[in-house]
Structure formats: C-alpha cells, structure tokens
Structure 1
C-alpha cells in the first residue's frame, strides 16, 4: 500500500496529536475494545501497551533481521538503506498487537484508522511525505527469511521495499496465537519541526519547520 501525503497535512497532524488531555502515566493496557479515538488518549494507551501488553510478544531478533534483509534487497537494486524512525516502529508494533488481540488481519483497524492515521498520532517532530505499508502473517515456527519471503512475494510489498522515495522504516514482528504478525512501515521524511509538539496547544502556536534537502 503506497500513499502520498503533503507537508501541510503532516504539520496539521502534528498539531492534532498535541490536542486533548495529557497522557496518563498510570494508563493500563486494554486492547480488547481497541485503542482510543482521541489522540492524547491513543498516545498514552500505546505507551502502556508497548510496555505491558498481555498475550503478545515482540521478536526483536526477527525485526532486526527483516530490517537487514530489506536493506540488502534495496542495495542490490541501487537504493539507499533505510533509517529507523521511532514513530513508525511504534505504529507498526501497536497495530500488530491490536490485530493479535482482536483477531483480525487488515491495514485498517475496526475503527477505520489506517497506518498513516496511527503514525500521525504518534509522530511529533518529523514531517511525513511518501508513505507505504507491508503486512504478512506467518506460522509461529517461521524464520526471518520465511517472513521476508512472505512479505516480498506480494508485488506491491516488493515495490515498497525498493522504492527510492522512502528513507525511513519501522517494523514489528509480534508473536501471538501461534502466529507471527509482521507490519513494515515506510516513509519519506520531508523535514522536521524545531521542537516536539506540546502536550497542550493554545490558540496560537508558532513552530519553525526545517525541510529536508531534495533526494
């Protein structure tokens, strides 16, 4: 899945992510009825679930291997390697957790939010331009190589892996229910704001935006 969003949309999203109540440090993880729709509550629930979700387990080794295999594929096709971006990693992982907990497999959650919606609620400093997402689900006995082959067997997924517009990636490999849920997110970062979005926004917020150099 490939999407293009514009810089003004990303800037608005950074402001949107800052609206609402401050994150609750004592927030508990409960994915049984999904994540909150309100951005600040979504952020705090995501933090809680990434720290203490029950019945799901991230596989750091497989995530590292999938990142390595993706970069090797890109290099073989003349594309640059991808940098890791925290918001992409978090958005990928929380979606994998949600799918495993609520027993569904889809790019959008049952509430209708897509990958980019989740990234927008978690990203507070980077302006996202080009965007794409890959997903696969394999047996819990599968290896990283098998997971990578499952991803790239889809032509759209393979194209995302090699696309020169992308310079950042986030990846999740989550074990649950006898399966491994794999979510791979890509973005082209168009720039940064001078400081993270605040927890609260007043009627007037000024922020300097630094655009990335043309690639």
Structure 2
C-alpha cells in the first residue's frame, strides 16, 4: 500500500534507526479528522497514504502521493507552552497536522527543493538565529542600518545550506539568501538591505502562496 515509503526506506537517504512500530492509513482517513475551521485546503492529499512510525529519534510520519511518486518525512512534536502570538495561523495548523518536514523523496529522482525543516515550531524560528551575524556584518560592510523589523521575522522553512523562508506580522514572505544566484528569476532585493540578505519573490506575496508553491513541487 505504501510503496513510496518502502522505496524511501530502502534508499540511501533513509536515516531513521530501529523503527519500533508502523501504522499505515489512507489520507482520506487521516484528514477526515480535520475540523471544519481549517485554514488550508487539503484536497491535494485526498488520495495520499500516511505511514506513522516511531524510532530511536522520535515519532514520525511519511506522507506520500502515489500518483506522483513523491513523499516527505515529518517529525512529530508538540508546541508545549511556546508563545504562538507571532506564528501565522496556517503555519501553526500545518505543524499540527503534518509535523516538521525534515526530508523529501521522489521515486523517479525528480528534483525537489532542498528544505530540511519546514513548518517547524520552536524558539529557534524567531529572528535570523545563526544568520544574524551575517546580516549585521553585511550591513556594516555596505554602510546600511540593520532593519529591526527584518530581525524579528518568523521562519517557516530552512534550506539545507542555511538559507531561510520567513514572514512578517503582515503575512509578507521574505527569503534570506546568504548565497543566492544573483540572476535567479523572480527575485527582488528587499528595500534598503545589502546584497545576499533579504529578498522577495514574484508570485509569493503571502504564507499561503509559499505553502502552495512548496506542496506544488510534489505533483
């Protein structure tokens, strides 16, 4: 039933150890639990397959789209008592229903975006974290004043190279691209920032726009 997961499990990218238990459910059954107040449209996952598993590293789910030969692994977690004031409702909902996406897979070697932490919610998602020094140094080198509002964004995704996808309280999406390709299509540098820091992308003006484009890579 869950052939994409089994292919992933047998691939060199599968890194979980000593799986303790596995349960396989249809996407129809899994998403039937969604309340009527959900923010997002989960139609894409109507015919998906969800594999739930535990390992030495924690609890996980693998969501696969059999018709497209793709899937992604999520780590299940709880928010505990974290203040969610600055977390977008869609971000919060996706973390609750998926978990944090930590790996993706294509049985046909389709190229997928190199994100290794999507929808994560914990204290590390606020601000630039390890990249703040990079931003401050680039501001100093370019004689640009750091923008306090940009230092207070919330991260919804992290690339494997450390670049970030973030949003502000007005639902505007920014990409912190410390090593981006200057002529990448659709990129526009944010106002009054140094090169290789904050950018926007045409067609991605909200968190929902970005989530749609993220899930769109799997079909």
TM-score interval, normalised by the smaller of the two chains: under 0.3
TM-score by length of 1: 0.26
Higher-Rg structure is 2
Greater relative contact order (Cα 8 A, min sep 6): structure 1 or 2? 1
Greater fraction of residues in helix? 1
